[in-house]
């Protein structure tokens, strides 16, 4: 069975993939990468690759998707299939960069708990804003990463490359998934990636915001498992899986 490597997003720990770890384990050993080591996306990706299996299936959410693109740049031969969740291949806009820097500055002088609570309401689908379980998970993850961890991750995100030119060269089976009401990386970003990656499958999850793995875990699990079991039937692009 092929090992599965999951890459968390900004201010996220392994808990972002808790529902997926339970669902995916029959299809291969599941590992959640650490994104806490490294000041740039290339450094973070290199650290993840140093501990990763020789060949693996790769999935990332949000910032984790940016790291997936960097892993593909550094070691494309090691990745046998790919899932990009609630992410984009585009670089930061000047407006996004300004917002990130303002958030870092605010976090260093205001209540970090309050900021995390405010961020939660902007991330999830409107129907989930009163979901205390989701809010508590998001709070735990954010506090575990901390202000300085967030600052390092934000700086790495700001400096990321434009991955759109790389999309046509992705020659492995790929899932592109997004929440239908994702406010940060909306469906048009997923549609753009799926249109440029040969043979990619696009899934738009109903009633879902940016943290799809927690907001609609069953739908995300179905999409991932469907792709995994489909791939298990025959080689793809000559790759025995």
- HEC string of the chain? CCCEEEECCCCCCHHHHHHHHHHHHHHCCEEECCCCCCCCHHHHHHHHHHHCCCCEEEEEECHHHHHHHHHHHHCHHHEEEEEEECCCCCCCCHHHHHHHHHHHHHHCCCCHHHHHHHHHHHHCCHHHCCCHHHHHHHHHHHHHHHHHHHHHHHHHHHCCCCCHHHHHHCCCCEEEEEECCCCCCCHHHHHHHHHHCCCCEEEEECCCCCCHHHHCHHHHHHHHHHHHHHHCCCCECCECC
| Domain CATH code at residue 193 | 3.40.50.1820
pLDDT for the residue numbered 211: 98
CA geometry: angle 208, 11, 73, nearest 5 deg: 90
Domain carrying residue 108:
1-241
pLDDT for the residue numbered 237: 41
Q: Which residues of the chain have pLDDT under 70?
A: 228-241
Q: How far is CA 145 from CA 13, 18, 36, 46, 97, in A?
A: 7, 17, 8, 20, 20
Sheet holding 201-205, edge to edge: 30-32, 4-7, 56-61, 79-85, 174-179, 201-205
pLDDT for the residue numbered 229: 52
pLDDT for the residue numbered 28: 87
Domain count, the chain: 1
| CA nearest to 17, candidates 50, 61, 56, 62 | 61
Q: Per the confidence metrics, is the pTM higher than 0.75?
A: yes
Residue linked to tokens 């080689």: 235
Other beta carbons within 10 angstroms of residue 197's beta carbon come to: 24
pLDDT for the residue numbered 226: 83
pLDDT for the residue numbered 234: 40
pLDDT for the residue numbered 227: 80
């Amino acid at each position: 069975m092929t090992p599965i490597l999951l890459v968390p997003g900004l201010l996220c720990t392994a808990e972002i993939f808790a529902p997926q770890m339970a669902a995916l384990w029959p299809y291969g050993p599941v590992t959640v990468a650490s994104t806490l080591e490294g000041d740039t996306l290339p450094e973070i990706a290199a650290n993840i690759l140093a501990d990763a299996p020789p060949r693996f299936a790769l999935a990332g959410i949000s910032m984790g998707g940016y790291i997936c693109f960097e892993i593909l740049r550094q070691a494309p031969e090691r990745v046998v299939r790919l899932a990009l969740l609630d992410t984009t291949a585009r670089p930061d806009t000047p407006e996004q960069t300004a917002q990130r820097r303002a958030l870092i500055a605010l976090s260093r002088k205001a209540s970090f708990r309050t900021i995390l609570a405010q961020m939660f309401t902007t991330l999830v689908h409107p129907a989930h804003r009163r979901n205390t379980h989701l809010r508590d998970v998001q709070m735990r993850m954010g506090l575990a990463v901390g202000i300085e961890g967030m600052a390092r991750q934000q700086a790495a995100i700001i400096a990321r490359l434009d991955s759109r030119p790389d999309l046509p060269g992705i020659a492995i089976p790929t899932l592109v998934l997004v929440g239908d009401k994702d406010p940060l990386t909306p469906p048009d970003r997923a549609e753009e990636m799926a249109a440029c990656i040969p043979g990619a499958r696009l899934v738009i999850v109903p009633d879902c915001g940016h943290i799809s793995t927690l907001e609609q875990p069953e739908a995300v699990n179905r999409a991932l498992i469907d792709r995994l079991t489909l791939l298990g039937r025959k080689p793809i692009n000559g790759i025995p899986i």
